[in-house]
């Protein structure tokens, strides 16, 4: 680092005495690629007014003065400390200011600093994450010409010889402050471009060119609907939030409401209050919940709703972003990254399904939208509402200690009962039978009953593909992905075997590559095979919903619309069908195998299984017909499964928290994970040892109580051709992981062909 700094600035040194120079100004610049900086550059007088924090700036970098564009993150002067002992006399001047206006607001820039520090990620990368690509590269903008009067013409048209038409043109321009394009002007005056060109040639009018955002997006107005009368529980939750909206003060609420308790209605009415105050609200939902139903629910209550979903083009995203920045949007709904919406006056943030794993980004910066939302809400003094039927234990613990305010919704709206949940013991059901069927006798009867009573059925199986394991019964060989240490899944459609991590695909292997046995066995149950089975057993229209059938944009929405219309009787699929859907006619939910996630090597395995079963169970009993849930499991006595069948979140949490505490796992401890990968196994191992050692040394230097667990081979040993090692850094003291990692980083020497990354508060342990 220090070397880089010297080589950057020691060209063309001019001795400079700081004492005489108390009026210098410098721009601090961060880059989104190496070397990340930040570095300081002097600002020449003629660019002083153009440099602002948040604009992009082009600078000469290194000895070769190669051109590089970075973000101005600060403007500094004589009272500031320069970056890494740079002398102002040796600073190079910036070359060019790229943007007229900052791309990032001061509040978001502050947020970027926090993310950079907390997640140990370069500031430039964070800024580039916050500003959508479409905004950075002017997607959907067009260079346009605008006409205005020449300076000295306004008050003395008569000094010039003009035809009546030319005079009308000048008067039109003089009488309004509007920007005119040549075409608009021609249409308004009722003339061709001829006289306009003539005036321009004579210098009486001037044209300027400017980039303008094209409108790329029509927002359909929805039929407006009235508010529901809140029930007592909803009302007291609303009142608590409203108090903080009115007082402009920050508070984080945990709205724990069972499925169907009407959480969304509480969000909507709180947002209405925010809009009344002339402020904007951000609503974060898991990507999968950005359905037309969600959009419509909000558009039926507000005039200006921006929905930021992943199928937007970058031009459309840029357009929304500018509308938001211009203060024209009341409610922003989006997945994770919508937390960076550049609102003018933020009034409230809502995070629905706050337990959902998709709120954590799996590339740098590896932020969790919930924690970013917490920081942003505190910094901008607004309330944050976290909602879920099954909150993450991190949030639950904070509610228990009073850090968050708990708002319980214990009852479903209109006093509808929660569905009855029964388990089916697969050990008994499959014990004596020859042919394996994923649908037990009991579940089969119940499906028939539900359908003949006019209801609909949802079946959950959290594994796609046909057979999840391809094995030779002769020698035991299991077909693995050559690039990942993951068994291939057999897909019936297309007769292929696919890696679910990297999509590596081969024709289905019929013959064992090891021993030549021509009878490879396909076992393990995936959604494709379930679909085939369901088709055989029931003579009704069915639909499968998983990432294989839902690849095309819009297909998810189309499928849900068909199911809602009642054309489809049985909907089966992966966790995609478990989230937030509201179908009153669903009277039966079947969980094909509740155990799929139970035994994964991850301390959150129980929490995830509990959440999934509870969430999918909540999809039924939402209408007048009521509903029931059947859960097939090999572990009917498991306490997680039992709690899920009782809708007993508190019971689950009470049993699970002591386990977490014993091992100092979150929410009691803090974790960081470091993953090292390389195409050469020994190099990855060597680097992981070097990193672990550096961490231990840094912890000792700083006298910080952290524990480095590992390094060891990662559970997913090989992915996409990279061998992987990992280590966990754990502590029970908040805020000490980052300084240790930062200090260790300065001592870690790179090894060729090895990459490594830091994940603070990791969700993914594979």
Nearer to ligand ADP, 350 or 737 (CB): 350
Task: Between 134 and 260, name the residue whose CB sits nearer to ligand ADP.
Answer: 260
Q: How far is the CB of 286 from ligand ADP (least distance, A)?
A: 13
582 binds, among ligand ADP, Zn ion, none (CB under 5 to 8 A by kind): ligand ADP
Q: How far is the CB of 501 from Zn ion (least distance, A)?
A: 5
Residues engaged in binding ligand ADP (CB under 6 A): 228-231, 234, 257, 259-265, 413-414, 582
Contact 633, 592 (CB under 8 A): no
- 465: tokens are 């593909």
In the bound state with ligand ADP, the residue whose beta carbon lies nearer, of 234 and 694, is 234
Q: Which residue has the tokens 């300081």?
A: 40
Give the nearest distance from C-beta 612 to Zn ion in angstroms. Answer: 24
Q: Report in angstroms how near the CB of residue 389 gets to ligand ADP at its nearest.
A: 7
SS3 623: coil
376 binds, among Zn ion, ligand ADP, none (CB under 5 to 8 A by kind): none
CA atoms in the 13 A half-sphere facing the CB of 727 = 24
Q: How far is the CB of 409 from ligand ADP (least distance, A)?
A: 7
* DSSP letter for each residue of 413-450: GGGPPPPEEEEEEHHHHHHT-SS--SS-HHHHHHHHHH
Omega into 38 within 30° of 0, i.e. cis?
Answer: yes
How far apart are CB 516 and Zn ion at their closest, in Å?
25
Find out whether the peptide bond into 221 is cis, omega within 30 degrees of 0. no
Dist. CA 7–CA 628, nearest whole Å:
70
Residue 430 touches which member of ligand ADP, Zn ion, none, C-beta under 5-8 Å by kind = none
Nearest CA to 619 out of 398, 395, 389, 290 is that of 389
CA distances, 147 to each of 7, 163, 167, 168 (Å): 48, 19, 15, 14
Tokens encoding 184? 């608009």
Closest to Zn ion by CB, 457 or 719:
719
265 binds, among Zn ion, ligand ADP, none (CB under 5 to 8 A by kind): ligand ADP
| Residue 527: CB atoms within 10 Å | 27
Tally Cβ neighbours within 10 Å of residue 567: 10
Residue among 140 and 262 whose Cβ is closer to ligand ADP: 262
In the 3-class helix/strand/coil scheme, how is 346-363 assigned residue by residue? EEEEEEECCCCHHHECCC
Nearer CB in complex with ligand ADP: 323/390: 390
- Nearest distance in Å: CB 755, Zn ion: 18
- Closest to Zn ion by CB, 113 or 720: 720
Distance of closest approach, residue 227 Cβ to ligand ADP, in angstroms: 9
Q: Could you tell me the smallest distance in angstroms from the CB atom of residue 267 to ligand ADP?
A: 8
Nearer to ligand ADP among residue 355 and residue 463 (C-beta): 355
Nearer to Zn ion, 121 or 499 (CB): 499
CA distance 570 to 588: 10
Q: How many residues does the chain have?
A: 766
- Contacted by 501, from Zn ion, ligand ADP, none: CB < 5 to 8 Å by type: Zn ion
The site partner of 502 among ligand ADP, Zn ion, none (C-beta below 5 to 8 Å per kind) is: Zn ion
Locus of tokens 């690039």 = 483
- State the sign of the Cα–Cα–Cα–Cα dihedral 400, 401, 403, 405: positive
Contact 88, 26 (CB under 8 A): yes
Q: Which does 467 bind (CB under 5 to 8 A by kind): ligand ADP, Zn ion, none?
A: none
455 is in the binding site of which of Zn ion, ligand ADP, none (Cβ under 5 to 8 A by kind)?
A: none
70 binds, among ligand ADP, Zn ion, none (CB under 5 to 8 A by kind): none
* Helix, strand or coil, per DSSP, at residue 144: strand
Q: Is 706 exposed, middle or buried (CB count within 10 Å of its CB: 0-12, 13-18, 19+)?
A: buried
Q: Residue 480 Cβ, how far from Zn ion at the closest point, in Å?
A: 8
* Residue 235 C-beta: closest distance to ligand ADP, Å: 9
- Identify what 264 binds: ligand ADP, Zn ion, none; CB under 5 to 8 Å per kind: ligand ADP
Judged by beta carbon distances under 5 to 8 A according to partner kind, the member of Zn ion, ligand ADP, none in contact with residue 259 is ligand ADP
Contact 483, 719 (CB under 8 A): yes
Closer of 496 and 745 to Zn ion (Cβ): 496
Binding interface with Zn ion (CB under 5 A): 481, 483-484, 499, 501-502, 504
Residue 255: which of Zn ion, ligand ADP, none does it interact with, CB under 5 to 8 A by kind? Answer: none
**Contact at 8 Å (CB) between 534 and 542?**
yes
What is each CA distance from 575 to 292, 346, 468, 608, in whole angstroms? 19, 33, 17, 11
Q: Which of 125, 133, 83 is nearest to 103 (CA)?
A: 133
- Would you say 264 or 358 has its CB closer to ligand ADP? 264
User: What are 399's two structure tokens?
Assistant: 């509610």
Shortest CB 703 distance to Zn ion, Å: 43
- Using alpha carbons, list the distances in angstroms from residue 117 to 123, 126, 189, 365: 8, 10, 58, 10
Q: What minimum distance in Å lies between the beta carbon of 74 and ligand ADP?
A: 43
Instruction: Give me the half-sphere count of Cα atoms (radius 13 Å) on the Cβ side of residue 415.
Output: 1
Shorter beta-carbon distance to Zn ion: residue 351 or 481: 481
Would you say 759 and 672 are in contact if contact means Cβ atoms under 8 Å apart? yes
Nearer to ligand ADP, 228 or 603 (CB): 228
Q: Which of the listed partners (ligand ADP, Zn ion, none) does 499 bind, with a CB threshold of 5 to 8 Å by partner kind?
A: Zn ion
């Amino acid at each position: 680092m220090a070397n880089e700094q010297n080589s950057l600035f020691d060209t063309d040194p001019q001795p400079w005495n700081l004492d005489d120079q108390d009026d210098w100004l410098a721009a601090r610049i961060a880059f989104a690629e190496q070397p990340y900086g930040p570095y300081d550059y002097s600002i020449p007088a003629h660019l002083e007014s153009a440099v602002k924090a948040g604009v992009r700036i082009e600078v000469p970098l290194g000895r070769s003065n190669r051109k590089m564009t970075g973000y101005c993150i600060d403007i500094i002067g004589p009272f500031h400390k320069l970056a890494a002992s740079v002398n102002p006399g040796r600073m190079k001047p910036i070359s060019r200011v790229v943007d007229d206006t900052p791309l990032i607001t001061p509040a978001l820039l502050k947020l970027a600093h926090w993310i950079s520090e907390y997640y140990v990620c370069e500031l430039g990368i964070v800024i580039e994450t916050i500003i959508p690509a479409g905004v950075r590269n002017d997607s959907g903008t067009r260079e346009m010409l605008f006409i205005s009067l020449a300076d000295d013409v306004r008050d003395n048209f008569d000094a010039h010889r003009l035809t009546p038409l030319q005079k009308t043109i000048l008067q039109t321009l003089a009488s309004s402050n509007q920007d005119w394009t040549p075409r608009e002007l021609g249409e308004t005056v009722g003339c061709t471009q001829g006289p306009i060109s003539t005036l321009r040639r004579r210098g009486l009018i001037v044209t300027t060119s400017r980039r303008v955002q094209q409108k790329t997006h029509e927002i359909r107005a929805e039929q407006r609907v009235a508010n529901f009368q809140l029930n007592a529980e909803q009302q007291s939750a609303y009142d608590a939030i409203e108090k903080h909206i009115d007082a402009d003060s920050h508070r984080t609420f945990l709205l724990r409401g069972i499925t169907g308790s009407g959480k969304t209605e509480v969000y909507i009415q709180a947002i209405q209050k925010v809009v009344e105050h002339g402020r904007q609200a951000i609503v974060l939902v898991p990507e999968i919940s950005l359905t037309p139903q969600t959009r419509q629910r909000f558009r039926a209550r507000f005039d200006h709703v921006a929905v930021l979903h992943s199928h937007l083009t970058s031009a459309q995203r840029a357009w929304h972003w500018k509308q938001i920045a211009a203060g024209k949007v009341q409610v922003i709904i989006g997945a994770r990254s919508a937390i960076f919406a550049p609102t003018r006056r933020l009034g409230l943030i809502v995070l629905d399904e706050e337990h959902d794993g998709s709120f954590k980004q799996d590339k740098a910066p590896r932020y969790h939208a919930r924690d970013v939302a917490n920081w942003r809400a505190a910094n901008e003094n607004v309330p944050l509402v976290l909602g879920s039927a099954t909150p993450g234990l991190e949030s639950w613990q904070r509610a228990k200690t009073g850090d968050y305010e708990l708002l319980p919704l214990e009852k479903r709206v209109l006093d509808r009962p929660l569905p009855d949940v029964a388990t089916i013991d697969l050990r008994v059901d499959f014990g004596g039978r020859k042919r394996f069927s994923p649908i037990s006798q009991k579940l089969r009867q119940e499906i028939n009953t539900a359908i003949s009573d006019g209801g609909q059925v949802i079946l959950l199986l959290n594994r796609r593909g046909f057979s999840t394991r391809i094995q030779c019964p002769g020698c035991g060989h299991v077909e693995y992905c050559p690039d990942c240490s993951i068994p291939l899944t057999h897909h019936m459609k297309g007769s292929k075997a696919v890696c679910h991590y990297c999509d590596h695909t081969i024709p289905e292997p019929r013959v064992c590559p090891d021993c030549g046995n021509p009878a490879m066995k396909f076992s393990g149950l995936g959604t494709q095979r379930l679909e085939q089975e369901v088709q055989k057993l029931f003579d009704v229209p069915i639909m499968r919903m998983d990432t294989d059938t839902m690849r095309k944009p819009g297909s998810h929405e189309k499928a849900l619309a068909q199911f809602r219309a009642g054309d489809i009787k049985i909907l089966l699929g992966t966790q995609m069908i478990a989230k937030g859907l509201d179908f009153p006619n669903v009277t039966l939910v079947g969980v094909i195998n509740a155990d799929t996630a139970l035994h994964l090597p991850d301390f959150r395995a129980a929490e995830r299984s509990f959440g999934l079963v509870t969430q999918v169970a909540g999809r039924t009993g939402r209408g007048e017909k009521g509903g029931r849930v059947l859960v097939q499991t090999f572990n009917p006595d498991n306490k997680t499964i039992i709690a899920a069948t009782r809708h007993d979140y508190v019971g689950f949490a009470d049993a699970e928290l002591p386990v977490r505490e014993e091992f100092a796992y979150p929410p009691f401890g803090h974790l960081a994970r470091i993953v090292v990968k390389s195409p050469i196994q020994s190099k990855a191992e060597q680097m992981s040892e070097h990193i672990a050692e550096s961490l231990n040394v840094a912890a000792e230097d700083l006298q910080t109580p952290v524990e480095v667990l590992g390094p060891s081979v990662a559970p997913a040993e090989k992915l996409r051709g990279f061998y992987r090692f990992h280590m966990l850094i754990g502590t029970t003291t908040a805020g000490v992981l980052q300084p240790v990692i930062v200090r260790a980083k300065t001592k870690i020497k790179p090894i060729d062909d090895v990459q490594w990354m830091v994940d603070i508060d990791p969700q993914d342990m594979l």
